[in-house]
Chains A and B, each alone.
Chain A
Amino acid sequence: MTSAAARVEALHFPHRHLLTTEGLGASEINFLLDLADKAAQSNRQPQMKSDLLRGRTLINLFFEASTRTQASFELAAKRLGADVMNMNVPTSSVQKGETLLDTAMTLNAMRPDIIIVRHRAAGAVELLAQKIDCSVVNAGDGAHQHPTQALLDALTIRSAKGRVSGLCVAICGDILHSRVARSNIDVLNALGARVRIVAPSTLLPAAAGRLGAEVFTDMWKGLEDADVVMMLRLQRERMESSYIPSTREFFHFFGLDQEKLAIAKPDALIMHPGPMNRGVEIASTVADHSRSVIHDQVEMGVAVRMAVLEALARNLPKQ
């Protein structure tokens, strides 16, 4: 693509929903990141509220518990002047009674402009988007996708390093169950980074090698020359299913401590989508390291979500 063509295309984000990062181009991603940069700057000003989404209604529909993602979307929407409603649907009551589609139709009747959805099942958000008239943002569906996380990670890297292209990013931990990993691989590849995934074989998906990342089962090798070390959260229930023998052993071979960090480049960034298990996938000293950008990720999260909401709102029918 020529740079002129890229610039023309990058003038907007031509999608009704944000369901997946698969297929997103560099120009679209950069457009969102540029918007997010502006949002991040304005968020640091004393007068940070705008009225871009005034009169718009946003529903946070979370079928799976979440503190930070939900709060981040809520804050982003409020800073843009939208009316926000939070709906937390406990998993059990949905299984017993109302189906996902019933819930969708009920919400649809309330005529929101944007719905943010998180669901435990892969593909659930896409299914919902098919049945709903408004814009839908995927805030995480099963082990499938978590687009805004990948965008905020890219923005964090770009802000700290000045670029994403050409960097070597090692994503480490439970890749098998991680939607964060899948979305990040898409976005980082689109932006020209070299992506690695590092995990024990039991925590790699069957066709890990087909995802567009180099696969390592030895963290000492996987971190060599890495510009960014991105740790993933290990979920405790994985141990009961015999994916790994113990958190102690996992930490020994795949936890990020000072020793393994030393293998990466001396200026390597340390990232984690949170919430962290200190002492399981990341040592406390590393989490609080001067090169840790874990708190920047949270800040960029609000900015990226503002950018996504703004981009989608531009495509909404005029009020």
Chain B
Amino acid sequence: MRAAKSTSASKTQNAVAFINARLIDPSSNRDEPGGLVIKDGLIADIGGHLRRNAPEGCEVVDCKAHVLAPGLIDAQVFTGDPGYEHRETLKTASHAAAAGGVTTMVVMPETNPVIDQVALVDYIQRRARDNAIVRVHTMAAMTKGLKGEEMTEIGLLKRAGAIAFSNGKSSVASARVMRNVLLYGKDFDALVVHHTEDPSLSQNASMNSGEIATRLGLPGVHKAAETIVLERDVRLVALTGGRYHAATISCAESLDVVRNAKAHKLPVTCGVSINHLTLNENDIGPYRTFFKMRPPLRRDEDRAAMVRGIGSGDIDIIVSSHDPQDADDKRRPFAEATDGAVGLETLLPAALRLFHSGELPLLSIFRAMTINPARLLGLHSGRLVKGAVADIILVDLGQPWVVSKDELRSRSKNTPFDENKMQGRVLRTLVAGETVYQYGGGQRS
């Protein structure tokens, strides 16, 4: 399902050696000085022996001791393609991805129309192939129109290339429908990705329930709304044996549920958005709508629990939950503003905050954005090993910079990190050995 532009030109290219790098590869627990050689879009060789010397005949790139890591795999990206192209297209999202070091993105079915039919999966794949500069995979809807009522054609959709099945930003309220999706999906080894938030408890809610919501006079949703659905789903997984992934958990109680399910050897995994690792409800301050999202930002205790979950491996993956929204839909009274924040370009720098603050080791951060999502989704990328596809990023861990929303490549500018200081940025992004982004050097279009 490769969606990057044809790489046939690179098939005959000379080998390129990246030397003098710090190699980071969670799949092999590698963190050492070295280098690698790319040939025909694959990693032809890798190791400490390539630290100083490149094989003869290679084009040589001196990495100046910066980090070479697998390209990031972002399992939750919303675009507006099709239907809301003014927010984001596959093309603009892919440019944002490339600049953020994301070489594979999974796009969500919450478009107009909803991606719930074979022809629409095919449409996304073709649009991506022709327009996107990184790999794009399609998450298909698990129920028709994301209404939570009728199951989609999971078998045919999977055959058409759907990588997993989601109900977008809403939970399937009916336990019966959810059971059937898991049970039927199991026959096709389908991965069911679910946003867990009880719709009746979260109705009209615009932020986390608690002191801040109380003071601001905003209707809040308690984190129990998340945990209730998650616990129900885990029971259904125990019943059906279907493969289940909680899309973005946000509180310590949910982490307990997942940990417990894993202890019982259930096929349950979970993810967390970068926002819930680096922000909390205090950031909302005086009704800042750019911090309005689903699940809502919680208390800092919950954020810290999410970080520990990444460290312990109980939380499997980190997603950007990139969700472009029109400024007009954000510049409204808080309760009436849309949810969501863009995140592709700030995913890695924001995650590196946790490294610089000493909260997480580098390998844990990269593991949750490379090999773990690769294994979850059955992809061959996400690792720096001999013979793997050369989806690679070069990262300067220390470079300081300030986020400016106007410089974002995303068509929408709703970032919660505007004017934030960051440390670390992507210098170069390669998909199948071909450079799709280079810092300061523009990018391929």
Question: Residues of A with Cβ closer than 8 Å to B?
Answer: 22, 99-101, 119, 121-124, 126-127, 141-145, 179, 182, 205-208, 210-211
Number of A-B contacts (CB under 8 A): 72
**B214 x A145 contact (CB < 8 A):** no
- B210 near A127: Cβ-Cβ < 8 Å: no
Q: Nearest chain B CB to A150's CB is how many angstroms away? A: 13
Additional 5 contacts, C-beta under 8 A, given A143-B218, A144-B218: A123-B333, A123-B335, A206-B209, A206-B222, A207-B215
Could you say which residues of chain A place their CB within 8 Å of the CB of B210?
A: 206-207
CB neighbours (8 Å) of B218 from chain A are: 122-123, 142-144
Tell me how far the C-beta of B212 lies from the nearest C-beta in chain A, rounded to whole angstroms.
Answer: 8
Q: Is the CB of B287 within 8 A of A123?
A: yes
Q: Does B18 contact A (CB under 8 A)?
A: no
**B 230-273 to A, binary, CB cutoff 8 A, 1 in contact else 0:** 00000000000000000000000000000000000000000000
Q: Number of contact residues on B: which range applies?
A: 20 to 34
Q: Is the CB of A206 within 8 A of B333?
A: no
Contacts of B333 on A, CB cut-off 8 Å? 100, 119, 121-124, 127, 141-142
Residue interface bits B213-224, CB-to-A below 8 A is 1, else 0:
111111110100
CB distance from B325 to the nearest CB of A (A): 14
**Are A126 and B335 also in contact (CB < 8 A) when A145-B217, A206-B209 are?**
no
**CA distance in complex: A123, B336 (Å):** 10
* Contact assessment for B216 and A206 in the assembled complex, using a CB-CB cutoff below 8 Å: no
Bound: A123/B332 CA distance, A = 9
Residues of B within 8 A of A (CB): 209-211, 213-220, 222, 286-287, 328, 331-336
By the criterion CB–CB under 8 Å, are B214 and A207 in contact?
Answer: yes
CB-based contact A141/B217 at 8 Å: yes
* Residues of chain A lying within 8 A (CB to CB) of residue B286: 123, 126
Whose C-beta in chain A lies nearest to the C-beta of B331? A101
Report the bound CA distance from A126 to B219 in whole Å: 17
Q: Which 7 A-B pairs have the closest CB atoms?
A: A144-B217, A121-B333, A123-B287, A143-B217, A124-B333, A207-B211, A205-B214
Interface centre among A123, A143, A145, A210, by most B CB within 10 Å? A123
| Alpha-carbon distance between A143 and B213 when the two chains are bound, in angstroms | 10
B37 CB to nearest chain A CB (Å): 55
Q: From residue A243, how far is it (CB to closest CB) to chain B in Å?
A: 12
Report yes or no: A208 in contact with B214, Cβ–Cβ below 8 A.
Answer: yes
Q: Residues of A contacting B222 with CB < 8 Å? A: 206
Taking a contact as CB atoms under 8 Å apart, the answer to whether B334 and A121 are in contact is yes
Q: How far is the CA of A101 from the CA of B330 in the complex (A)?
A: 11
Shortest CB distance B300–A (Å): 15
Chain A residues lying within 8 Å of B335, measured Cβ to Cβ, are 121-123, 142
Residue in B214, B331, B334 whose CB lies within 8 Å of A206: B214
Report whether A142 and B217 are in contact in the complex, using a CB–CB cutoff of 8 Å: yes
Interface centre among B211, B215, B222, B286 (most CB of A within 10 A): B215
Q: Kindly state the separation between the CA atoms of A179 and B217 in the bound complex, as whole angstroms.
A: 7
Find out whether the CB atom of A127 lies under 8 angstroms from the CB atom of B287: yes
